Chains A and B, each alone.
Chain A
């Protein structure tokens, strides 16, 4: 290891150890500035990505959790919009969150919404294109990069809408297993509750983008009628795009 690399390892170790002084002619207060800059900027990034989670948890609790997260999970790349992919997971592991599991659903929705917002643009597959295809079963299509499927554990969509309007005090819906599809339309990301058949078809197309094969897999599990309806839903939501889209490297 070069001496610069060694120096940077020592500096990084000192950043991770609150109160530590850096060997050499540095001051403890000076090191604190860098330490605080890193910590504070990451808390702000999380706060910006998860505003509804912050509202539900309260400023102080959110800051404490975000601070812990920032200490244990540094970003793996410099685009902070991609920071916080394991934040919901960390919340889930907190014993104090057991009674507030719906917050974790909101947290996952916020993370997914941001990913969908920044994803590549594609042209959605529409029903007319499908109808005009000579062999629809052979048509290659896949989930749009600007879409995402999530499984929730509480019916939180009314709460989500209320938070979007800046309201609070909305009751959380029933516990259960909910399938949500997030799809970007213009400037907005719409969130729809969808059937398990939709989920199966969506992921089947993600794994193998041949429509006929995906419909067969979906029919086998949910029946032909549900599979057909699922296709109608995905087309209606604009969640599919013709042929496998190689996302613009980003």
Chain B
């Protein structure tokens, strides 16, 4: 009988699921609490890729992270794609399901990126409608991830207020990507701590941590979210603080480009545990609380 992975342990730590690591993940138990997969990479109708994923789902708790639903698109949701997501979630019974505050589809074209949207009452209504539709189709809560931004937008709502309103009116949760929040703060001159303070933190259902790089050729320099390097110190500091406040929230270390070996990736998980109160010696954890 397979294990019930629908609940994650408090302060669970996970990494991304990559095809390159399948043999290693299947041949021995890896010390992670869950694996997160990009939904669109695992929607095969059949064949060996689906078989491998089923084998992974027997051994590990999963999180399904969508990148193509275009929640912030002005057009209606792609119902065929939503149904594919529903079938994947029904098949895998993941612990978490998440998507992005972004858009990617316009007039039949898919821009394979998480494009920004101006935060207004109109876009709030659009995202609310799409989140409602998605949660209804999935029959469960969706976590919505904050974006990393490279351009200033014609916002009439602050991002934290927009997300708070979205949470309040749809019942969705937040996937707080601390690296994204850091990047947006750097690129837009936003006060990171004020932004984090204004978020509805009680709705956070997952943390994302990742690396980024600084494009020094841009004027002014731009922090670019490439998921291709270790997490930076400033992000670790915010994570230590946030995980003290929200010790039960699961954490994912993302790595999507310049993919490291599984053992190198797990070193980053060890670092996350060092910063997390649930994994630190009791005395230090107590000190953190006081």
Cα distance, A204 to B108, chains bound together (Å) = 33
Is A248 touching B45 in the complex (CB atoms < 8 A)? yes
Is A4 touching B41 in the complex (CB atoms < 8 A)? no
Task: Determine whether A24 belongs to the interface, using a CB cutoff of 8 Å to chain B.
Answer: yes
Cα distance, A122 to B45, chains bound together (Å) = 11
Q: How does the 8 Å CB contact mask read for A208-232 relative to B, with 1 for contact and 0 for none? A: 0000000000000000000000000
Is A33 touching B45 in the complex (CB atoms < 8 A)? no
The stretch of A69-77, A100-108, A128-136, A157-165 that contacts the partner chain:
A69-77
Is B45 touching A38 in the complex (CB atoms < 8 A)? no
Known contacts A9-B106, A33-B222; is A78 also within 8 Å of B40 by CB? yes
Q: Which among A2, A12, A34, A146 is the interface contact of B46 at CB below 8 angstroms?
A: A146
Is B104 touching A78 in the complex (CB atoms < 8 A)? yes
Q: Which among B67, B81, B106 is the interface contact of A12 at CB below 8 angstroms?
A: B106
What residue of chain A has the Cβ atom nearest to residue B69's Cβ? Answer: A78
Task: Determine whether A45 belongs to the interface, using a CB cutoff of 8 Å to chain B.
Answer: yes
A residues less than 8 Å from B50 (CB atoms): 121
Cα distance, A74 to B218, chains bound together (Å) = 27
Known contacts A5-B75, A78-B68; is A117 also within 8 Å of B112 by CB? no
Task: Determine whether A31 belongs to the interface, using a CB cutoff of 8 Å to chain B.
Answer: yes
Interface residues on B, range: 35 or more
Task: Determine whether B126 belongs to the interface, using a CB cutoff of 8 Å to chain A.
Answer: yes
B residues less than 8 Å from A120 (CB atoms): 45-46
Task: Determine whether B158 belongs to the interface, using a CB cutoff of 8 Å to chain A.
Answer: no
Cα distance, A94 to B126, chains bound together (Å) = 43
B residues less than 8 Å from A30 (CB atoms): 149-152, 187, 222
A residues less than 8 Å from B74 (CB atoms): 2, 4-5, 8
Task: Determine whether A26 belongs to the interface, using a CB cutoff of 8 Å to chain B.
Answer: yes
What residue of chain B has the Cβ atom nearest to residue A35's Cβ? Answer: B113
A residues less than 8 Å from B120 (CB atoms): 3-4
B residues less than 8 Å from A81 (CB atoms): 41, 44
Is A77 touching B117 in the complex (CB atoms < 8 A)? no
Task: Determine whether A98 belongs to the interface, using a CB cutoff of 8 Å to chain B.
Answer: no
Shortest CB distance A98–B (Å): 31
What residue of chain A has the Cβ atom nearest to residue B226's Cβ? Answer: A37
Cα distance, A122 to B219, chains bound together (Å) = 56
Task: Determine whether A80 belongs to the interface, using a CB cutoff of 8 Å to chain B.
Answer: yes
Shortest CB distance B211–A (Å): 16
Shortest CB distance A146–B (Å): 7
B residues less than 8 Å from A166 (CB atoms): none
Is A11 touching B115 in the complex (CB atoms < 8 A)? yes
Task: Determine whether A169 belongs to the interface, using a CB cutoff of 8 Å to chain B.
Answer: no
What residue of chain A has the Cβ atom nearest to residue B149's Cβ? Answer: A30
Task: Determine whether B122 belongs to the interface, using a CB cutoff of 8 Å to chain A.
Answer: yes
Interface residues on A, range: 35 or more
A residues less than 8 Å from B49 (CB atoms): 117-118
Q: How does the 8 Å CB contact mask read for B68-83 relative to A, with 1 for contact and 0 for none? A: 1100011100101101
Q: Which among A3, A32, A34, A119 is the interface contact of B115 at CB below 8 angstroms?
A: A34
Is A121 touching B47 in the complex (CB atoms < 8 A)? yes
B residues less than 8 Å from A76 (CB atoms): 108-110
Is B112 touching A26 in the complex (CB atoms < 8 A)? no
Task: Determine whether A186 belongs to the interface, using a CB cutoff of 8 Å to chain B.
Answer: yes
What residue of chain A has the Cβ atom nearest to residue B127's Cβ? Answer: A4
Q: Which of B99-154 contact A (CB under 8 A)?
A: 103-106, 108-113, 115-118, 120, 122-123, 126, 149-154
Q: Which among B40, B122, B152 is the interface contact of A4 at CB below 8 angstroms?
A: B122
Task: Determine whether A247 belongs to the interface, using a CB cutoff of 8 Å to chain B.
Answer: yes
What residue of chain B has the Cβ atom nearest to residue A5's Cβ? Answer: B74
What residue of chain A has the Cβ atom nearest to residue B73's Cβ? Answer: A8
A residues less than 8 Å from B215 (CB atoms): 29, 33
Task: Determine whether A66 belongs to the interface, using a CB cutoff of 8 Å to chain B.
Answer: no
Known contacts A34-B113, A74-B111; is A184 also within 8 Å of B47 by CB? yes
Give 18 new A-B contacts, CB below 8 A, not counting A8-B73, A9-B106, A118-B44.
A2-B74, A7-B154, A8-B106, A25-B151, A25-B154, A27-B151, A30-B149, A31-B150, A34-B113, A37-B113, A75-B110, A75-B112, A77-B80, A78-B81, A121-B50, A122-B46, A184-B47, A247-B45
Name 16 A/B residue pairs within 8 A (Cβ), A-sorted.
Answer: A2-B74, A3-B122, A4-B118, A4-B123, A26-B152, A27-B218, A31-B151, A33-B150, A41-B112, A78-B40, A79-B40, A145-B46, A248-B45, A249-B45, A249-B80, A250-B44
